């Protein structure tokens, strides 16, 4: 089996950038489906999964499944790549169980992983199940300032609307949702994963580093997983690419103040434990982050998390 790593999020924090950059590397053999949503396919989670239903009749009754499965399969046919079509068809038309999930990675040459931001929301029991199924997989948690991440998620969720003026009340309702609070509760996610995974299996990665030092960031991620970025010619890597971007629009002061009041204490706690970019989110002028684009969790940090 070659399930070498699992990226658990966060949403709108650069996971698509990571998926595309790893797909460009010679050492990697990523699946054509970025977000598998296996461990969060239960209705208890707010994420939308294409693999909730095992019976075909139930699948075709789901408009979300019909829309995305048809589009993806047709695109794979047009690509002329038989292996991609085979994998897409297998993804959309299977009975979904643990054996199915592991079979996606079985006998694949090169390094492979699952990048599903919804896994940041998993309950401890599902994290434990993940660990049992892939005991040696490295866990990557890609984070972004929760104020910026929340605003980006809102813009992305409303991307089909033509913004002439921000609906402040609509935005407030979006920010006050349980789903939003779960996605921005970085400390709780770290605590849960630290209880299940061994030290040195967990890495914190920062969206900020994608902007400021993408090559150094990618090099450290690849090394952590077990690959080597130098095995790929530099011209094949689109390090400055912006993928899955939201609308370009500044957040109104009222909404920025709302999110600042909500998340400043959380950011301060993260800064106290880890420093680095967490500290920059509070005091950008200090520029501590240049020396710490990633953080590999160790026993000392796990002990600090357990105290919180």
164-199, pLDDT tens digit by residue? 678 899 999 999 999 899 999 999 999 999 999 998
Give the C-alpha separation, 107 to 185, whole Å.
Answer: 36
Omega of the bond leading into 10 within 30 degrees of 0 (cis): yes
Q: In angstroms, what CA-CA distances link 159 with 155, 163, 245, 246, 308?
A: 6, 9, 10, 7, 37
Neighbours of 43 (CB within 10 A): 7
**Within a 13 Å sphere around the CA of 141, how many CA atoms are in the beta-carbon half?**
25
Q: Is the pLDDT of residue 67 over 80?
A: no
Query: Which of residues 61 and 168 earns the better pLDDT score?
Result: 168
pTM of the model: 0.89
What is residue 158's predicted lDDT score, i.e. its pLDDT?
Answer: 83
Q: What integer pLDDT is reported at residue 146 of this predicted model?
A: 96
- 211 pLDDT above the threshold of 80: yes
Average pLDDT value for residue range 105-115: 92
Least confident piece of the model among 89-103, 152-166, 214-228 = 152-166
Among residues 167, 176, 174, 166, the alpha carbon closest in space to that of 249 is found at: 166
Could you report the per-residue pLDDT of 45-57, keeping only the tens digit for each? 988 777 877 777 7
CATH numbers and ranges of domains, the chain: 3-35+112-307 (3.40.50.300)
Q: Is the predicted pLDDT of residue 221 greater than 80, yes or no?
A: yes
pLDDT tens figures, 256-290 = 999 999 999 999 999 999 988 999 998 876 665 55
Q: What is the mean pLDDT of residues 219-245?
A: 90
User: In this structure, what DSSP letter does residue 141 have?
Assistant: E
Residue 242 has pLDDT above 90, yes or no: no
pLDDT tens profile 246-258: 677 889 999 999 9
- How far apart CA 256 and CA 251 sit, in angstroms, is 6
Q: How far apart are CA 280 and CA 291, in angstroms?
A: 12
Helix (H) or strand (E) holding 202: strand 202-206
Which pLDDT score, from 0 to 100, does residue 144 have?
A: 96
Question: How far is Cα 28 from Cα 13, in angstroms, rounded to an integer?
Answer: 21
Please tell me the predicted confidence (pLDDT) of residue 33.
Answer: 84
The answer for residues whose C-beta is within 8 angstroms of residue 32's C-beta and 6 or more apart is 76, 84, 87, 88
Please state, rounded to an integer, the average pLDDT across all residues of the chain.
87
pLDDT score recorded for residue 57: 75
Q: Is the pLDDT at 116 greater than 60, yes or no?
A: yes
- The rounded distance, in Å, linking the Cα atoms of 152 and 16 is 14
Q: Who has greater pLDDT, 117 or 285?
A: 117
């Amino acid at each position: 089996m070659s399930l070498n790593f699992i990226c658990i999020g966060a949403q709108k924090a650069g996971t698509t950038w990571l998926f595309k950059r790893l797909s460009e590397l010679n050492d990697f053999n990523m699946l054509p489906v970025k977000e598998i949503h296996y461990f969060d396919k239960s209705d208890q989670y707010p994420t939308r999964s294409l693999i909730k239903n095992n019976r075909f009749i139930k699948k075709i009754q789901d408009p979300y499944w019909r829309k995305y499965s048809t589009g993806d399969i047709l695109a794979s046919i047009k690509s002329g790549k038989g292996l991609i079509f085979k994998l897409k068809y297998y993804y959309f038309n299977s009975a979904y169980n643990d054996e199915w999930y592991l079979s996606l990675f079985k006998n694949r040459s090169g390094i492979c992983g699952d990048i599903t931001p919804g896994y940041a929301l998993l309950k401890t029991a599902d994290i434990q199940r993940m660990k049992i199924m892939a005991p040696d997989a490295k866990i990557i948690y890609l984070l972004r300032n929760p104020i910026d991440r929340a605003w980006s998620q809102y813009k992305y969720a409303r991307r089909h609307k033509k913004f002439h003026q921000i609906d402040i009340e609509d935005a407030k309702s979006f920010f006050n949702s349980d789903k939003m609070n779960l996605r921005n509760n970085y400390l709780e996610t770290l605590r849960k994963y630290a209880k299940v995974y061994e030290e040195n299996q967990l890495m914190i990665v920062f969206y900020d580093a994608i902007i400021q030092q993408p090559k150094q960031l990618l090099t450290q991620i690849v090394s952590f997983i077990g690959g080597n970025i130098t095995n790929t010619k530099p011209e094949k890597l689109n390090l400055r690419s912006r993928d899955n971007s939201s609308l370009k629009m500044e957040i109104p002061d009222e909404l920025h103040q709302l999110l600042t009041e909500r998340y400043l204490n959380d950011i301060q706690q993260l800064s106290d434990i880890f420093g680095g970019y967490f500290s920059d989110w509070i005091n950008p002028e200090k520029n501590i982050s240049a020396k710490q684009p990633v953080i590999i969790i160790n026993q000392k940090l796990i002990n600090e998390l357990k105290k919180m």
